[in-house]
Amino acid sequence: MNDLETVNALLESGQTEDGLKMLGELIRHADDELLFGAASVYQQYGFLDEAEHVYKALLGRYPNDSGLLLQISDLLIDKKEENRAIDYLLQIHVLDENYLSAQVMLADLYQLEGLDEVAENKLIGALKIAPDEPVLMLALGELYLATGQALKAVDLLSKIEDDPALEDQNVALKLAEALSLCGEFEQSLKVYRKGLKKEKTLDGLFGYAVTATRIEQYKTAIRSLEELRNLDPGYSTLYPVLAHAYEHEGDLDHALRIIEAGLEEDEYNDRLYKEAGELAVKVNQPKKAGQYFEEWHKLDPESTEALTRLAELKSQEEDYTGIIKLLDSQELDDPMLIWFKATALNRTDQLNEAGKCYESCASAFAANPEFLQEYGEYLREMGKTGEGLRLLEKAVRLSPENQDLASFVERLRQDDRE
């Protein structure tokens, strides 16, 4: 066992202090090859500042060594110093054997910086030098996939799907994702199956399931997501999709249990509370639905939808006091919420306040016969019979199939004539 292997063994076994001490002693008398090995060991065990110090010493002797430039760039990426990494990579000459590798790294870094067009240009420029280089085609295909240019991604990835030079990559799963984004769901499923046969990744299983739901293959989606759930129950985005699949298969109770299992894994996921509440409504458990909607509102107090679902549920239970309590603390600008509040105030005989709310949202519901009927009846009760009748007549015109309302309006007309 040589000295670096001894250092590595010490660090690997947790004898960090002894390993670092020995490594420091080695560096004082090391040749260049040993220095490079020492820097790699530092980097491997997360001693990034020490590794950078050694790499810089080597770069002082070999300033144009592209291997060193790649290595220190990789280290700086680990240190979250992307701009410094870019500076080193830009030093690699176009004729250098590592130039193409540098362009791939630069493209990744520019993409991280949000400079997608710069990243694309880097890779296109590299492909002009090496038009059939599969690594470059893969990198550009991945960039197109990440930036929503799925058709371009399909064009590139389909050319290298079975390239032996990319044996260590699962190109099929990337191609399947791109095909799905293009709406080629049947073809996407075939390619997903090929990719998952090679390697079952979590994202691959999820993408396969989501694609299956697009063409209503819910049993396929359920199998894939149940497998994903067994592999990683903490993959929280699977639960709403899996619940919807069970729902489409007619098993609402199981769908609700799936969402509740998701909440055990991710108790701060507002989407899961929303889904749980909606499923609880469908299985006729309003109390449970209310609890889930309350949690959703707590996690996302700015969500108008959460407030609306809570108000809607309380309205169905005729809990008008609860609606007022819920909405009184809010600055309402959503017409539907204002209508809920108006109704609640009306039903609890807070008529003047109710009138202000009705008036505030009236323009938003000028073509809603249900609102017009409710507001019209309120106005008549408040003594504004003519204005109220006009709203009721408009409601009849908008909803001619409502014979009860039509009869009611006709009686009002007769009463007014008398």
Mean pLDDT of all residues in the chain? 89
Which tens digit of pLDDT belongs to each residue from 333-348? 899 999 999 999 999 9
Which tens digit of pLDDT belongs to each residue from 13-66? 777 777 778 877 777 777 777 788 777 877 787 778 887 887 888 887 888 888
| Residue 416, pLDDT above cutoff 70 | no
Q: What would the mean pLDDT of 122-128 be, rounded to a whole number? A: 87
pLDDT computed for residue 1 by the predictor: 43
- For 115-139, give one letter per residue: b (16+ CB within 10 A) or e: ebeebbebbeebbeeeeebbbbbbb
pLDDT computed for residue 23 by the predictor: 72
Residues 195 and 166: beta-carbon distance below 8 Å: no
Q: What would the mean pLDDT of 407-417 be, rounded to a whole number? A: 75
pLDDT computed for residue 26 by the predictor: 74
Residue 372 to residue 374: CA distance in whole angstroms:
6
| Residue 144: other Cβ atoms inside 10 A | 22
Which tens digit of pLDDT belongs to each residue from 194-222? 999 999 999 999 999 999 999 999 999 99
Q: What would the mean pLDDT of 307-312 be, rounded to a whole number? A: 93
pLDDT computed for residue 272 by the predictor: 94
Q: Which amino acid is at 152?
A: K
Residue 319 to residue 315: CA distance in whole angstroms:
6
Domain boundaries, the chain: 366-418
> What would you report as the CA-atom Rg of the chain, rounded to the nearest whole angstrom?
33
Greater confidence (361 vs 74) lies with 361
Lowest mean pLDDT segment, chosen from 19-33, 81-95, 265-279: 19-33
pLDDT computed for residue 174 by the predictor: 96
Lowest mean pLDDT segment, chosen from 61-65, 120-124, 226-230, 304-308: 61-65
Q: What would the mean pLDDT of 248-273 be, rounded to a whole number? A: 94
Which tens digit of pLDDT belongs to each residue from 227-255? 999 999 999 999 999 999 999 999 999 99
